[in-house]
Chains A and B, each alone.
Chain A
Amino acid sequence: MAEAHVEEDQSPDTDRRDFLYIATTAVAGIGAAISLWPFIDQMNPTANVQALATTEVDLSPIETGQTIKVVWQGKPVYVRHRTQEQIKAAQSAPVDDLPDPETDADRVQQDQWLIVVGICTHLGCIPVSDPDNLRGEFGGWFCPCHGSHYDDSGRIRKGPAPDNLAVPPYQFIDDNKILIG
């Protein structure tokens, strides 16, 4: 009797049995894992949020020397109509000495329009340029939180911020209108 039992343990019946259980467990596991996806994906941006990924800005009312703040994807974006002095200052800065080297030409599509995201690259405060005398030492923006100074191209010059102000993707719809995003 005992011998028959021992043989049974090594019969192909055992292999088939184990395979069935392994297959069942595997199929169940895969299904459980896949069914988690909708619960994860539902946290991704919804269709209506994705539709608002762009902001249109009318440039015509912005006078030379004036800066306006618009909202794009919930973030502040500065649109500055630069004066000739500001453009010259931005273009003649020593690029290699900058903490985050970048030419002005790489940051604008048309010289008189500077468009940057108004979030300090240090810890996320909003740098200011109003009133005019509170723009920091380089004429651009000044971040009141920890004293970062940005120039007329939105580049970091002095202070703890590591990077230049981000330039959002934008395009000119016509001479007086841009679409950000």
Chain B
Amino acid sequence: MAHASTYKPRSGFARWLDSRLPIMRLAHDSFVDFPTPKNLNYWWTFGGILSVCLVILIFSGVALSMHYTPHADFAFASVEHIMRDVNYGWLLRYMHANSSSMFFLAVYIHMLRGLYYGSYKEPREVLWILGVMLFILMIASAFLGYVLPWGQMSFWAATVITNLFGVIPFIGDEVLAWLWGGFGVDGPTLNRFYSLHYLLAFLIAGVVVLHIWALHVPGNNNPKGIDVKGPQDTIPFHPYYTVKDGFALGVFLIVLALLIFYAPNILGHPDNYIPADPLTTPEHIVPEWYFLPFYAILRAVPDILFIPAKTAGVIAMLLAIFTLFLLPWLDSSKVRSARYRPLFKQFFWIFVIACVALGWAGSQSPEGMALLVARISTLYYFAFFWVIMPLLGVIETPKSVPDSISKPVLGSGSAAASGTSG
């Protein structure tokens, strides 16, 4: 939470800088002497992990962009040039691709943490909304980036997704031509996707700054979901959480390294090693794994009344993300953490299963069992946010929430309590 600055410039230069641009003070107050709840568990390390992932993606991306050619006739070959001729090019390429996957793995865990512990609730609504905006920017950036190698999946994913814009009434075709820069996905599309991919990376970095700023105003949530009552509940971010985040990052980077060095193509699709061919459609057009749940929702929806399935699917997919913006107001419970919400906890875990099921369904052809699973899971997804969460606030009897984060110095450790969200 906003607290009095404890920064003391130690040298003449430090004092001179502090009076002109207090950047060292800002860094100290935000990341050194920042009072952080002492009971954070490992689910809280993913914010730091995400930041490091972003840095890796930007560094490797800038390096790759020195060798990549965003022209339809040369893009695929330029990626092979990177893999073969550029010093450590293979490392940079595999690093960039696999860090993207790990970026999404981390963000899903990070979001689920927020969902479970009520980090989206008052007073952190804007923090949550900035987070959803970051998620959307990530989706866009990953989609654009995947088109760049100009393989079969690049081309056909671009075709499928851009074609969705055609469902916009009246101006759909004009919007499509505007997006494509032509009559279909082609050279102009590739070139502008490259420009936007580069731009979005830095937009993400900018919104991350806002996201951290919005966090630092109220301060971190914690597993108990109760407010910090005083200095007995907190410890300085450095060295306690720098070292803990460092350790978690070490484990994360080992997983990333195992992917890069031993299984660099396992999360990708072989068809993307076939150069794009506008005249041949792959047998199964599949997006990268992190998009599969949305892909499942897109294809799960049948014709509804007068709305054709394609349009309904697009609406459902967009609604699935838009719903996240409204989460702080859909959840009516006054209790933040699922630790003390026995009913919510169970629905939460079923929600997680539904997301995994949607992911599986997205990898399959939308028929038979896969379609059934996709439909049930989609229904549960929306029911979870629009029906269950509003209801639970009213009907659920939470367990008693502890009084404070740290045990009191005197007296017994608990008291019956009700409201905790301030």
B partners with A: yes
A21 nearest CB neighbor, chain B only: B239
- Contacting B92 at CB < 8 Å: which of A38, A46, A48? A38
A48 nearest CB neighbor, chain B only: B85
B56 nearest CB neighbor, chain A only: A35
B66 within 8 A of A: yes
A46 touches B87 (CB 8 A): yes
B219 within 8 A of A: no
A46 touches B91 (CB 8 A): no
- Contacting A44 at CB < 8 Å: which of B60, B84, B87? B87
- Contacting A42 at CB < 8 Å: which of B84, B86, B246? B86
A21 to chain B, nearest CB (A): 8
B246 nearest CB neighbor, chain A only: A28
A39 touches B63 (CB 8 A): yes
B85 touches A41 (CB 8 A): no
Cα A38 to Cα B89 with chains together (Å): 8
B59 within 8 A of A: yes
B119 to chain A, nearest CB (A): 29
A42 touches B59 (CB 8 A): no
Q: Which residues of chain A come closer than 8 Å to B170, judged between CB atoms?
A: none
Task: Find residues 77-97 in chain B having any chain A CB closer than 8 Å to their own CB.
Answer: 81, 84-89, 91-92
A46 touches B86 (CB 8 A): yes
Task: Find residues 274-318 in chain B having any chain A CB closer than 8 Å to their own CB.
Answer: none
With A39-B59, A39-B63, A42-B67 given, is the CB distance from A47 to B91 under 8 Å? no
A43 touches B66 (CB 8 A): yes
B67 touches A46 (CB 8 A): yes
B88 touches A42 (CB 8 A): yes
- Contacting B63 at CB < 8 Å: which of A28, A42, A47? A42
Question: How many B residues, CB 8 Å from partner?
Answer: 15
Cα A48 to Cα B59 with chains together (Å): 24
Main SS of chain B's interface residues? helix
Cα A43 to Cα B89 with chains together (Å): 10
A43 nearest CB neighbor, chain B only: B66
With A28-B246, A39-B59 given, is the CB distance from A46 to B85 under 8 Å? yes
B64 nearest CB neighbor, chain A only: A42
- Contacting A47 at CB < 8 Å: which of B60, B66, B84, B92? B84
Q: Which residues of chain B come closer than 8 Å to A28, judged between CB atoms?
A: 246
Q: Which residues of chain B come closer than 8 Å to A46, judged between CB atoms?
A: 67, 81, 85-87, 89
Cα A28 to Cα B247 with chains together (Å): 11
B239 nearest CB neighbor, chain A only: A21
Cα A44 to Cα B88 with chains together (Å): 10
- Contacting A38 at CB < 8 Å: which of B66, B81, B87? B87
With A28-B246, A46-B67 given, is the CB distance from A41 to B88 under 8 Å? yes
B59, B85, B91, B92: residue with the most chain A Cβ atoms closer than 10 Å = B85
Q: Which residues of chain B come closer than 8 Å to A48, judged between CB atoms?
A: 81, 85
B87 touches A41 (CB 8 A): yes
Task: Find residues 2-51 in chain A having any chain B CB closer than 8 Å to their own CB.
Answer: 28, 37-39, 41-44, 46-49
A42 touches B92 (CB 8 A): yes
Cα A46 to Cα B90 with chains together (Å): 12
A38 touches B246 (CB 8 A): no
B88 nearest CB neighbor, chain A only: A38
Cα A124 to Cα B274 with chains together (Å): 45
Beta-carbon contacts of A40-73 to B below 8 Å, as 1s and 0s? 0111101111000000000000000000000000
Task: Find residues 46-91 in chain B having any chain A CB closer than 8 Å to their own CB.
Answer: 59-60, 63, 66-67, 81, 84-89, 91
A47 touches B85 (CB 8 A): yes
B172 to chain A, nearest CB (A): 43
B243 nearest CB neighbor, chain A only: A24
Cα A78 to Cα B98 with chains together (Å): 49
Q: Which residues of chain B come closer than 8 Å to A38, judged between CB atoms?
A: 63, 87-88, 91-92
Q: Which residues of chain A come closer than 8 Å to B84, judged between CB atoms?
A: 47
Q: Which residues of chain A come closer than 8 Å to B66, judged between CB atoms?
A: 42-43
A42 touches B81 (CB 8 A): no
B60 nearest CB neighbor, chain A only: A39
Q: Which residues of chain A come closer than 8 Å to B89, judged between CB atoms?
A: 42, 46
Q: Which residues of chain A come closer than 8 Å to B87, judged between CB atoms?
A: 38, 41-42, 44, 46
Q: Which residues of chain A come closer than 8 Å to B81, judged between CB atoms?
A: 46, 48
Cα A49 to Cα B66 with chains together (Å): 14
A50 to chain B, nearest CB (A): 9
Task: Find residues 105-140 in chain A having any chain B CB closer than 8 Å to their own CB.
Answer: none
A41 nearest CB neighbor, chain B only: B87
Cα A151 to Cα B128 with chains together (Å): 75
B279 to chain A, nearest CB (A): 30
Cα A28 to Cα B60 with chains together (Å): 20
For the A-B complex with A42-B87, A42-B89, A43-B66 known, give 5 more contacts whose Cβ atoms are closer than 8 Å.
A38-B92, A46-B67, A46-B81, A46-B87, A46-B89
- On B, residues with C-beta under 8 Å from A are 59-60, 63, 66-67, 81, 84-89, 91-92, 246
- On A, residues with C-beta under 8 Å from B are 28, 37-39, 41-44, 46-49
Which 8 pairs show the lowest CB-CB distances between chains A and B?
A38-B88, A46-B85, A47-B85, A41-B87, A48-B85, A46-B86, A42-B63, A42-B87
A-B contact pairs, 29 of them (CB 8 A): A28-B246, A37-B88, A38-B87, A38-B91, A38-B92, A39-B59, A39-B60, A39-B63, A39-B92, A41-B87, A41-B88, A42-B63, A42-B66, A42-B67, A42-B89, A42-B92, A43-B63, A43-B66, A46-B67, A46-B81, A46-B85, A46-B86, A46-B89, A47-B84, A47-B85, A47-B86, A48-B81, A48-B85, A49-B85
